[in-house]
Amino acid sequence: MKIPRAILLASLAGLPPLWAQEAFVRQTDLEFGLVYDMPLASTGGSFIAPLPISESGAKFEMFARGTAWDSNIYLLDTKLIRAYTPLATLDLVSEDSYVRGDPASGNYVRRTRADRPFSLNIHVAGLVPGSANTAERAVYFSCKGSNYDLTTYSGLGQPAYLLSESDLENGDLTIGPLYHELTTATLTGGCGEQSYTFVRYAADGVPDTILAQPKIEIWPVATAAVANITVNQLFIDRIPAIVLTLLHLYPDSRTYAQVYRGTAVLGTTGTVVEASERRYGRHYNPDQAEEPTNVPQDVSISIEDLSKYAAADGTYTLEVITETPFFGRAPERLLNITFNVDRVISSRGQLSTAEKPNP
C-alpha cells in the first residue's frame, strides 16, 4: 500500500566544504526498483521524497562529489525507510447476532448477557516488525469498562475504568471464551459495556489516533418473583390474584408464565397464562412498525384468574419461562412454584357447617 510522499531530513552541515559543492540523495524503490536522484543545497535541509514509499520500503543514499583534484563520488550515509499504515480490526463474537453501527468501520456495538461468553478476533497489520520506533512497531490496545444504571440501563455520566492494556504487533489473535469483567457484585448482575480501543501512537507530527473502538454491551440475567403464593401452598377455594415481577428481560426475548399439572419438571410444556406473555426485539416482533427496544425491560404482571388453569384438584406448577438468542433460543426457567388445590376439603367443611344438631 502506498502512502503520501514522506518528508525526510538530509543535513550536510558536517560535510567538508569541498564536498558540499555537489551533493544529492538517491532514492531506490525496493518494490519496483525505480531510482530517482535529488540534488541538495550546499547547506542541506529537508525535502519531499519524489517517489511514494511502499510497504517494501525505499533506500535513501546520500552522495557528495569532490571538487578540484578530487572528482570521485562518495557515499556518505544510507537509510532504509518503510511505509507503515497501522491497521487494526476487532471482530466481537457473541451468541446474539445484534449489531448497532457498521462493523467495517471499526466502530460498532454488539451485546451479550452477563452469564454468557464472547470472543475477540483481532487482526493487526501495516506495522514495521523489529522497528526501534514504537509507533512503527506496535499499536496500543486497551479494554475499558463502564457500569450502567440498573434502573434506566443508561451509561450517561458513568465513569470508565481500565481493565487491561497492551501493545500489539502485526498478527492475528483470538481471545476467548471470555466473560465480562465489569465491577459488579455478581457475574449475573453485570450491566454496562466494555470498549476495546486501538490507538496509533503519535509520530511524524500526528498525535495519538484511534484506529477502531468497538464495544459490547452486557445486560443482566433476567429474574422473576411472585407475590401472594408460596411453595406447596394449599388452596381450598378460588386462588387469589398473584403478581409477577420480572426484571431485566433481555431486549431480544419472549417471556411468559405457564401452568401444568404435577410437580416441576424442566422442559414441560404447559398452558400459557393469558396476558402474561411479553415479546421484545425484531425476532419476536417481525411486523413491528417502530424500532424495537435495545435495552432490558422491567414489568409487573397481575394474574387474576389462576384458578381456571387449575380447575381440578391436584398438584400444579406455575413457571416463568424466557427465550433469548442464547442456547439456541431454548426455553429457560426463571421461576417455578408448586401449589396444591383440594376443593373437596372446602366442600366437606361446608357440609359440616350445614348439618343440623340432633333433636
Top CATH class, 223-345: mainly beta
With vertex at residue 336, the alpha carbon angle to CA 334 and CA 339, rounded to the nearest 5 degrees, is: 160
pLDDT at 345: 62
Beta carbons of 112 and 51 less than 8 angstroms apart: no
Q: What is the CATH number of domain 7-81?
A: 2.60.40
C-alpha cell at 88: 487494526
Q: Smallest Cα–Cα separation from 323: which of 218, 193, 222, 219? A: 222
pLDDT at 17: 44
Instruction: Per-residue pLDDT tens, the chain, 359 aa: give them.
Output: 334 444 444 433 444 444 445 788 888 888 788 888 888 776 666 777 777 777 677 888 888 877 667 677 877 777 777 667 789 999 999 999 999 999 988 899 999 999 999 999 999 998 888 888 899 899 999 999 999 999 999 999 899 999 999 999 999 999 999 999 999 989 999 999 999 999 999 886 678 889 999 999 999 999 999 999 999 999 998 899 999 999 999 999 999 999 999 999 999 999 999 999 999 999 999 988 877 789 999 999 999 999 999 989 999 999 999 999 999 999 999 999 999 999 876 545 444 444 455 55
pLDDT at 7: 41
**Size of the chain, expressed as the number of residues it contains:** 359
Please report the sign of the dihedral spanned by the C-alpha atoms of residue 237, residue 243, residue 249, residue 254: positive
pLDDT at 175: 95
Beta carbons of 160 and 203 less than 8 angstroms apart: no
Burial 170-202 (b: 16+ CB within 10 A, else e): beeeeeeeeebebebeeeebbbbbbbbbbbbbe
Beta carbons of 331 and 264 less than 8 angstroms apart: no
Antiparallel, parallel or unpaired: β 7-10 and 192-200 = unpaired
Q: Are domains 7-81 and 223-345 of this chain identical in fold?
A: yes
Which option is the CATH number for 87-219: 2.60.40, 1.10.287, 3.30.1490, 1.10.10? 2.60.40
Provide the residue ranges of all domains of the chain, joining segments of one domain with +: 7-81, 87-219, 223-345
C-alpha 349/C-alpha 343 separation (Å) is 10
Residue entry with cell 558540499: 20
Distances (CA, A) of 45 to 8, 18, 39, 81, 148: 9, 18, 11, 18, 55
Beta carbons of 336 and 262 less than 8 angstroms apart: no
pLDDT at 352: 47
Beta carbons of 78 and 60 less than 8 angstroms apart: yes
If one counts every other C-beta atom within 10 angstroms of the C-beta of residue 35, the result is: 12
C-alpha 131/C-alpha 199 separation (Å) is 17
HSE-up of residue 58 (Cα within 13 Å, Cβ side): 25
The beta strands (E) that lie in 179-307 are given as 192-200, 209-212, 215-219, 223-227, 234-235, 242-249, 253-261, 271-272, 278-280, 297-303
Rg (CA), the chain: 36
E strand or H helix that includes residue 350: helix 343-354
